[in-house]
Each structure stands twice: as structure tokens, then as C-alpha cells.
Amino acid sequence: MQQDLLHRYTFDQLDVRGELVQIEQTYQEMISGHEYPVAVQKLLGELLVATCLLTATLKFEGDIAVQLQGDGPVKYAVINGDDQQNMRGIARLQSEVAGSTIKELIGNGVMVLTITPNKGERYQGIVPLEHETLAECLEAYFAQSEQLQTRLWFTTDTTAGSEKASGLLLQVLPVNKAKSIEDFTHLEALSNTIKDEELLTLDATTVLTRLYHEDNPRVYEPQPIHFKCGCTRDKTITALVNVGQQTLLDDASANGEVKISCHYCLKDYIFNEQDIKSIFN
């Protein structure tokens, strides 16, 4: 199994930048144990790839959350990540999933993009989900808010035990507009020739050479992507304090212990009566 990586590339003569993301382990850890329907697994895979691509595109140091929410069977799906490519994600269902388009999954909804930089002000962008695919929704976001022509390709393989998700991004550089659009059109046509299977299984160098060998892509040092939940016993205790000592003690005496499961990674945090008493002392 290859490492989960984000690759960035530019071209010496062309005013376009690109990114390639290939993910296995992070994706598998994220969906493991949740028993999501296949369409939801695919949605989360695409959203994970999208979030990795966005962290590199929007250039910030801090946290990012990309959330889809609406009135459809999937109440919400969210990926939380940071500029170090530590990722986690979850989807919550409110009715049975039938269909696989954004409309069929999320219903009438929005994408909420939240960036919380380590320094500086929080940014939030909201876009209506008016397209069939997540890629098209994000392309519309970039056209509106960044005014940068962008193309995205996402693909997932949900074969149990070897789940994979991959994606490509092309975006014009904000320099000479006429030239960059021409360059973009050229590279977009080349990128359209990649097959899902190739994007999922070939290593990045092979993919980029196969697509762009005549345009001399300059590929930068890749960035590893990891699953990282970030939940801890201490954070769980902080949440428990709000519940109140008596409620917790009642719960502990009824069930022998208080068990708090992380919604994201499903890790259990167990507290017995003694633990609860010491939290409140």
C-alpha cells in the first residue's frame, strides 16, 4: 500500500497549478466501523479528497471544516482537517439513502466552508448545492468566491478492505488572464483523459507523466495525509462536566460505568464511579 499523499505541481510555461491526492489508509480509518451505505462512503471519500485539495489551495495555517448539510437522507457530512493534512470526518443519516447525486443525498442544502487560521480571523463561505456532483459544486464555489477557473476530478473505490479515494485539481494562476485560460483549456483536455482506475491505482509520478509529459510539470515535495481524530480523555472530561455529577453517578450506578464514544473515531472513553467523583473534586 502506498502512503496517502498530496502532490502539488506547476508548469514552467503554463499559468496553471495542479494538485493530485491519493488516499487509502486515511479513508479506511475514517469510514471503518460506521457501516455507511456505499453512496455515503463515496460522498465522504470525495469530501475528504476535496478537503485535502482545499487546504493546499486556500493557503492558510490552521483548521478547515468542509460541511454539507441539507434536508435529504444525509443530514450532514463533514471533514475536519488542518494544513498538516490531519483529517477526520463523519456523516449523519436521517433517512434511508436512495440515489447517489448530491441532490439525492443532501437534498436542498449548502456547503459550508470554515477556515480557522492559527492567527487571524475565521473565514466562512456558504454555497448552495445546486449541482449534481460535489466537484461541480466546488468549481462553482471557486468561480464565485475566488474568481478562479478551477476543475476537479474525484473518484473512489469502495471495495471492502481496499477503499481508495483520489482527486485532481487544476486552477488558473491569477496572472495573464487570456493566456492562463488558454493554458487551462489545454491541460483540462489532457486531464480528462485520465481513467478513474489509473487515478486510483497508478503512482503519482506515472499519472503526472502520462498526462502532462510534454508540458514538463514541476512536482513539489509531497505532503503526507493522515487520519487524526484529536479526541482525548481530557476533552471528554470537559464535556462531562457540563452533564453534571449527579446525572453521571446515576448513569454509572445503572450501567456499571459511563461510556462516552467519540462520534468520529468510535473510540470509547470509560468512567467509573470513582472517576466521576474525582472529576468533580
The nearer residue to Zn ion, 110 or 237, going by C-beta atoms, is 237
> Smallest distance, Å, CB 232 to Zn ion?
8
The total of other beta-carbon atoms located within 10 Å of residue 96's CB is 7
- The stretch among 43-51, 116-124, 216-224, 258-266 that binds Zn ion (CB under 5 A) is 258-266
CB 129 within 8 A of CB 110: yes
78 binds Zn ion per the rule CB under 5 A: no
11 binds Zn ion per the rule CB under 5 A: no
- Interface map 217-246 toward Zn ion (x if CB under 5 A): ------------x-x---------------
The nearer residue to Zn ion, 6 or 265, going by C-beta atoms, is 265
**Long-range contacts: 16-19, Cβ < 8 Å, 24+?**
16/170, 16/171, 16/172, 16/173, 16/180, 16/183, 16/184, 16/187, 17/170, 17/171, 17/173, 18/168, 18/169, 18/170, 18/171, 18/187, 18/191, 18/217, 19/53, 19/56, 19/57, 19/167, 19/168, 19/169
The nearer residue to Zn ion, 128 or 230, going by C-beta atoms, is 230
> Smallest distance, Å, CB 228 to Zn ion?
9
- The stretch among 2-10, 16-24, 168-176, 263-271 that binds Zn ion (CB under 5 A) is 263-271
Q: Which residues bind Zn ion (CB under 5 A)?
A: 229, 231, 262, 264-265, 267
